Amino acid sequence: MSNAGNPQQILAANMAIRQNILANAIPVFQNVRSGSLTYTAGSPTQFTVLASNVGLIRRFWLELSGTVNCAAAHNVTPSMFGLSNLLSNVSFIDQNNRLRINTTGPHLHLAASQKRRRVFGSALAANNNGTIVQTDPTGFGANYPVNVGTGQVTGGTAKNFTFVFEIPVVNSNQDLTGAIYANQTTSNNQLAFTINPNFFAATGADAFNAGYLCDAALATTLPTLTNLKWTLYQDFLDQLPVDNTGFAQLPPIDIAYALVYQMINPGVQVASQDNLYALPPFNVYQDLMLFWDNFGFNGAGGIGSDVNYVKVQISNTYILRQEDPLVNAIRTRNHIGSDMPAAIGATNTSGQVIDLDFRHKPLSVNQMSSTNIVFNPATVQSATSNLQIGQEYIWYANQAAA
């Protein structure tokens, strides 16, 4: 298809092709790769997977399963993020060698939940002393052992788990922005996953980035992660409509953009001051998540009391949003019906996730100069206190395509 024409014509053509694809292409969900892994504590276990060169890719799902155990007379307890911390890094490099995803397991899981307005992979159930109980008389509930926490694991009584992560490529099933046409053999779409080398944290240590907190030193508890298996699923559209030359019709604007997930560290945070992170230009932000790890904080005010406010500020004058953690929690509850993960403790994990949602009206830094995320903590507990920002944005990746 020619790219000639004014922007309105190109946009109209993109929408027409997109709707034609959605109406006529066949949605396919396939198991494309699988394998097993060996985990060694303290040593990152990385595996690289090539996507299947077929169809218009919408997303991937990674299914991970394994067994958790520890030494007799000891136990390990799930951390604030639990099994989502199984992956310390996920990266996705597309066939044009562009890094689209470079983030953590918790960020992917929370983003998959936030965009669906419900917790990803959750089911209606109640937890009664560790036992899943049906809440619907017809049998609806958490019947399958997937995306369900193990609870505390006591030495000698191993517990199995299965957890599924989504690695998105497009905005949604109806919005194909970011789609990748993979029907070629000259290059590959490559995913890389890192099993968290610090999946277990020793007693008294910060478990913000761990999956489990041990009740003693690691050498004493001897926690183990065994029987690790993985399966990658690819969600794509096949049998696309073709033009009069026999080539697949592709939406030029959709494939010109990339959906990017990135985790960044804006640096040391200073208490009771506005700490600024300038959003890079030419990105359109869907969502920003602030992962605040304030290890050891145990203030009387409870969760959220160590943060004064967060702001989205433009050109140092115009405040687009300003809210404290409790108001942010209400906004999040109204959006997904739940709080983001949070914990507080003087000797272990103390932290929270603050979500800034722009999905209803994406924040275009291309139009608004000097756009800053402002984080003002009331307390920075220690030198190890750390803020990371999980970014989700649309990036104009291929100017030649649109």
Tell me the HSE value of 243 on the side-chain side, using a 13 A CA sphere: 10
- Sequence spans of domains, the chain: 7-254, 265-401
Question: What is the rounded average pLDDT of the residues 56-75?
Answer: 97
Of the ranges 141-155, 220-234, 287-301, 361-375, which is most confident? 220-234
**Residue bearing the bigger pLDDT, 388 or 141:** 388
Q: What is the pLDDT of residues 136-181, one digit of tens each?
A: 777 788 889 999 889 999 998 999 999 999 999 999 999 999 999 9
User: For residues 126 and 71, which has the higher predicted lDDT (pLDDT)?
Assistant: 71
pLDDT value, residue 30: 96
5-18 tens-digit pLDDT: 688 898 999 999 99
Which amino acid is present at 318?
Y
Confidence of residue 131 (pLDDT cuts 50, 70, 90): low
Structural domain 7-254, CATH architecture: Distorted Sandwich (2.70)
Q: Considering the entire predicted model, what is its pTM?
A: 0.94
- Helix, coil or strand: residue 253: coil
Structure confidence at residue 400 (pLDDT): 39
- For 359-384, how does the pLDDT look when each residue is reduced to its tens digit (9 = 90+)? 999 999 976 568 999 999 999 998 88
- Strands (E) across 279-400 are located at 283-293, 307-314, 318-323, 342-343, 351-357, 363-364, 371-377, 386-396
Q: Which amino acid is at 304?
A: G
Most confident among 161-170, 296-305, 336-345 (mean pLDDT) = 161-170
Q: Report pLDDT digits (tens) over 252-271.
A: 999 999 999 999 999 999 99
> In this predicted structure, what is the pLDDT of residue 369?
67
Structural contact between residues 110 and 194, judged by C-beta atoms closer than 8 angstroms:
no
Dist. CA 255–CA 100, nearest whole Å = 13
The predicted pLDDT at position 301 comes to 87
Chain mean position to CA 166:
8
Torsion 62-65-71-74 (CA) sign: positive
- Residue 128 has a pLDDT of 53
Confidence grade of residue 130 (pLDDT, cut at 50, 70, 90) = low
**Confidence at residue 18, expressed as pLDDT on a 0 to 100 scale:** 97
DSSP assignment, residue 208?
T
Higher pLDDT, 245 or 164: 164
Residue matched to tokens 């109980």? 133
pLDDT at 1: 44
- The DSSP 8-state label assigned to residue 341 in this structure reads P
Residue 401: the pLDDT is 41
Give domain 265-401's CATH number out of 2.40.40.20, 3.40.50.170, 2.60.120.20, 1.20.1250.20: 2.60.120.20
pLDDT exceeds 50 at position 202: yes
> Number of C-alpha atoms within 13 angstroms, CB side, residue 46?
9
